[in-house]
Amino acid sequence: MISLAGSIDDLQHVVAELFVVRASGHASDSQRNYPLWELSNKELKRLLEEGVGGVILYGGTATELQHRCKTILNWAAKPLLLCADIEEGLGQRFDGGTWLVPPIALGQIFSIEPEKAIKLAEKYGSCIGDQARRCGLNWVLAPVCDVNSDPLNPVINVRAWGEDPETVSTLIQAFQRGLELQGVLSCAKHFPGHGDTRVDSHLQLPRLDHDLNRLKEIEFIPFQAAISARVSSVMTGHLLLKKLDSQYPATLSETLITQLLRQELDFDGLVVTDALVMEAISKTYGSAEAAVLAFAAGADLILMPEKPEEAIKALCSALLEGRIPKQRLEESIHRRRNALAKVKESFLVLHDKDFLTSGIELESSEDRAFAYELVSNSLQTVNAGSVKAIRQGVNLLRVDDVFSSSILTNNSPAICLPEQYGYKTILCHPRGVSPWQEDQQFPLALDRLGEVPILLQLFIRGNPFRGSSHLKEPWVAAIEQLQSKNLLAGLVVYGSPYLWAELLKVLEASIPAGYSPGQMPESQTQTLSSLFSPLDGPSDLQKSRLQEFT
């Protein structure tokens, strides 16, 4: 039993267990990629000593991550939940881990070969769980259970396993089986369903007209499937469903969390909020108020409050004042400790220490073969092998932001392979070259790009914080413009299947084109290799570069 009669310090030490703060996977403060969100080592160590019970990690290499997890565990006053947002494999966030195609690729395979997709989804979960565990993580923030029913969804998009509840349900259950085999905790998100929105909750609060019948017919089905498959936790979405709760978004709504998730769907595992620093919440509620409202509504774990200490103290005050019954605290502490009992911290050492001390790579040859298989099975090409080497051309490469891009380096296949064929790279991104002019029918400023053949590579998918900015880019008109001048040498789309389908409608039958749901180097290599014709008499340099990427 937890007593509220002791000192405030004792209560804060207990309440702090229910908070998950963000830290960098890098060891040094100066290496933090997002210092506004990632605590300094001094702050992190102090909060862990004061009882904070969870850390979410971003950035660094897989080896750094394992060092980091061990350091953090040594700082902590109690057993920790250590998690990461690795929906697409450890390599999505940490170099040296395996980066897999996004879940939508499995949904596309499922529509053609369902049994194959189910086996791949289970292996997908097992691969992620194995690498997470070996690095020291005991909680994977996946699977995404949202049904991507709106092609213009700016933030879920390829993160979803499909566009109908049956596909999503079948594949997330397979994923859960694979993840569970590896002994790590899972997280179904974003309840009650973020798939039918055109607003990114990182930027503002989505408002939905769905009633309970609609939720039961579509959104709830994958969450019910995840619960049946013994998912460890459910993450709430920052969504306002005004027909169910006109005042509070789901993260802060007793109706959504307690009445629907707990009672209607009979879920008794951990409920965790989505990050409270996201502007869907932070624009309206302060750290203290958001934490108290979320806990009162039925959440067990508070993820990334802007000011953790302020939020912990506010929750203590709400308990002492009787605004929240002591029983709620006892229930949440019990659920957290039960979850941790399933993933004993000793898994961090055991045989996994060999990865750290003996130079063994985290990513096995089997993992690499699996990543290759997923890309290969989801790759689509038109007029394969017909892009030929030329004397002068442009490789026009569109990315969201080259400065924060994890998909491009100087040695990326999307840059190096086209250059071997005579296509000089021009990067199009918000802080770089703008290819546009004020002409809706002919939007590309060809005088700046050059009247030469253009290979167009588009990296576009649902991305947090980007909103719907890519929808304003006139790629359909750009392709029609290039085709009218006979300058389109080829088209590649990495990411959104919806953009790919839209552009195919206007693409001339003779144009080489390729699509991969993934954006990582493996996707770039396979897609481009399928489109280019063999070089005639390549130089030694060309041979070595081509061998590197093919």
Over range 437-447, report the average pLDDT: 92
Same domain flag for 525 and 406: yes
- Rounded Cα–Cα distance for residues 66 and 35 (Å): 21
Domain that holds residue 202: 13-357
Same domain flag for 162 and 30: yes
Same domain flag for 345 and 407: no
* Residues tagged active-site: 202, 274
Same domain flag for 113 and 205: yes
pLDDT at 408: 86
Could you tell me if residue 6 is inside a domain? no
Q: Which residue has the higher pLDDT, 318 or 468?
A: 318
Over range 267-274, report the average pLDDT: 98
pLDDT at 406: 76
* Number of folded domains that form the chain: 2
Cβ neighbours of residue 15 closer than 8 Å, sequence gap 6 or more? 51, 312, 315, 316, 319, 329
Could you tell me if residue 8 is inside a domain? no
Could you tell me if residue 373 is inside a domain? no
Residue 216 has pLDDT above 60, yes or no: yes
Percent of residues in the chain assigned helix, strand, coil, to nearest 5:
45, 15, 40
Same domain flag for 518 and 385: yes
Could you tell me if residue 526 is inside a domain? yes
What confidence tens digit (pLDDT) does each residue in 26-52 have?
A: 999 999 988 989 999 999 999 999 999
Q: What tokens appear for 161 in the block?
A: 């396993």
Same domain flag for 325 and 391: no
pLDDT at 538: 46
Could you tell me if residue 528 is inside a domain? yes
Over range 299-312, report the average pLDDT: 97
CATH number of 458's domain:
3.40.50.10870
Mean pLDDT score across all residues of the chain:
92
Over range 424-447, report the average pLDDT: 87
Phi, psi of 86 (to 5 degrees): -115, 60
Q: Which residue has the higher pLDDT, 173 or 353?
A: 173
CB-CB contact of 396 with 454 (8 Å): yes
Residue 358 has pLDDT above 70, yes or no: no
Same domain flag for 326 and 427: no
Residue 547 has pLDDT above 90, yes or no: no
Cβ neighbours of residue 119 closer than 8 Å, sequence gap 6 or more? 174
- Among candidate residues 309, 325, 357, the one where a domain is terminated: 357
Same domain flag for 173 and 58: yes
- Rounded Cα–Cα distance for residues 83 and 136 (Å): 9
What confidence tens digit (pLDDT) does each residue in 99-131 have?
A: 999 999 999 999 999 999 999 999 999 999 999
- Among candidate residues 357, 392, 415, the one where a domain is terminated: 357
Residue 24 has pLDDT above 70, yes or no: yes
- Whose structure tokens read 């040859």? 365
Same domain flag for 146 and 22: yes
Residue 543 has pLDDT above 80, yes or no: no
Q: Which whole-number Å values give the CA distances from 132 to 69, 362, 367, 444, in the listed order? A: 11, 10, 13, 44
Q: Which residue has the higher pLDDT, 349 or 85?
A: 85
Cβ neighbours of residue 490 closer than 8 Å, sequence gap 6 or more? 387, 455, 456, 511, 512, 513, 514, 531
Residue 541 has pLDDT above 50, yes or no: no
CATH number of 132's domain:
3.20.20.300
Residue 407 has pLDDT above 60, yes or no: yes
- In 3D space, the residue among 312, 376, 463, 340 whose CA is nearest the CA of residue 108 turns out to be 376
Q: Report the share of the chain in percent with pLDDT over 90.
A: 83
Same domain flag for 104 and 219: yes
Residue 20 has pLDDT above 60, yes or no: yes
Could you tell me if residue 530 is inside a domain? yes
> Which pLDDT band, with edges at 50, 70 and 90, does 550 fall under?
very low
Same domain flag for 301 and 197: yes
What confidence tens digit (pLDDT) does each residue in 309-325 have?
A: 999 999 999 999 999 99
**Number of residues written out for the chain:** 550
- Rounded Cα–Cα distance for residues 452 and 275 (Å): 47
Residue 134 has pLDDT above 50, yes or no: yes
Same domain flag for 351 and 386: no
Could you tell me if residue 364 is inside a domain? no
- In 3D space, the residue among 154, 179, 492, 189 whose CA is nearest the CA of residue 342 turns out to be 179
Could you tell me if residue 291 is inside a domain? yes
